Copies of this chain bind each other. A is one copy, B any other.
Amino acid sequence: MNVGIVGASGYSGEVLVKLLLAHPRATLRAVSSRTHAGKPLVAVMPAVRGADRGLRFVDSDPVALAAMDIDLFFLALPHGAAAGFAKVLVPAGKRVIDLSADFRVADLATYRKYYGEHHAPELLPVARFVLPELTPPAWRQEAKLVAAPGCYPTSVIVPLAPLLRAGVISREHIVVNACSGVSGAGRKVDEMYLYVERAESMKAYGLLKHRHLSEIEEQLALHAGGPIVLQFNPHLAPMRRGIATTITVPAAAGAGLDVLYAAWAAAYANRPFVQMLPAGETPDTAHTIGTNRIDIAAAHDPRTNNFVITAAEDNLMKGASGQAVQIMNLWSGFEETDGLV
């Protein structure tokens, strides 16, 4: 299978490049970038030196890309930009896995409230939000366009969805605190992201109406069978990669840790990329870096009757590019773990 990456020069694009260059069943045929068109891949991404197969960046032109002998495209573009490529590539019969938010939110009004105008609303009916461990498998036949989940949302939806579905936790008073590595902001050249500004610095940011809320709450509502409104407090941590998420939520009446873990086990028992740690342990981002895993654990506080749920993942792997490859694997009938271990 031939694959291409549109917008390959950002951080999630770079991880996609590395994963696909080493993938046993997909062949990376095209990497595109407006800025770097014409340059050798290795000039922009020296980390793949010697493994770059002589690839050069092509221009990010949707029509030209659609004409290439490529079966599946990954869109690693900013929100708003991806839709313009999807509206050319999907009608041309290409499979598309979009890593942006453009097709993650099914409700158009919600999308507009958080992101502004949508540039390809006509594709929403054929798009599927796919979190591989949670989305029922029919998408593998139905979808023409897959929206891969965001990094923060993955770290919230994976632990909470089975618990809301099973009624193990309250639907109210859910408080999510998440700490992300700096690559979560993308390769944005801004004073805020300079080494000297971020090293040894920890801070909350984007409180209230963070864009990812739209996706988190819409997805959780599907699992809960009713609306979910939660507090989402993102933080910037002095590290390159990783998200550590800590969720405090009241236990449902009578629900203990055994019930919680049983709900998780029902959803994830044999899934290689969701790992449950024993109660009492807490996942560490460092243990997930470079893997496609999300590690989850829970504790119960008898003083408050809250569950404290912790999750860790590599924001560029299970939180972005690794998960996108996992989606490609399932969509294409490959082993789920191909190229991911």
Residues on A facing B (Cβ under 8 Å):
11, 21-22, 46-47, 49-51, 173, 175, 177, 179, 181-183, 187, 189-191, 193-205, 207-209, 229-231, 233, 235, 237-242, 244, 246, 248, 272-273, 275, 282-291, 293, 295, 299, 301, 303-304, 306, 308, 310, 312, 341
Contact = CB atoms under 8 A, between A and B. Distances in A.
A205 B310 CA distance: 10
A273 B50 contact: yes
Given A50-B273, A177-B233, 9 more contacts: A21-B341, A47-B287, A173-B173, A179-B235, A187-B191, A189-B194, A194-B194, A200-B240, A237-B238
Copies in the complex: 4
B203 A244 contact: yes
Contacts of A200: 181, 199-200, 239-242, 285-286, 289
16 contacts: A47-B286, A47-B287, A179-B202, A189-B194, A195-B240, A200-B289, A201-B242, A201-B284, A202-B239, A202-B242, A202-B286, A203-B285, A203-B286, A205-B282, A208-B301, A237-B238
A273 B187 CA distance: 28
Contacts of A237: 179, 202, 237-238
With a 10 A CB-CB cut-off, give which of A175, A248, A310 has the most chain B CB atoms.
Answer: A175
Given A194-B189, A202-B284, A308 B231 contact: yes
A12 to B, nearest CB: 12
B207 A299 contact: yes
Contact of A175 (B47, B175, B196, B310): B175
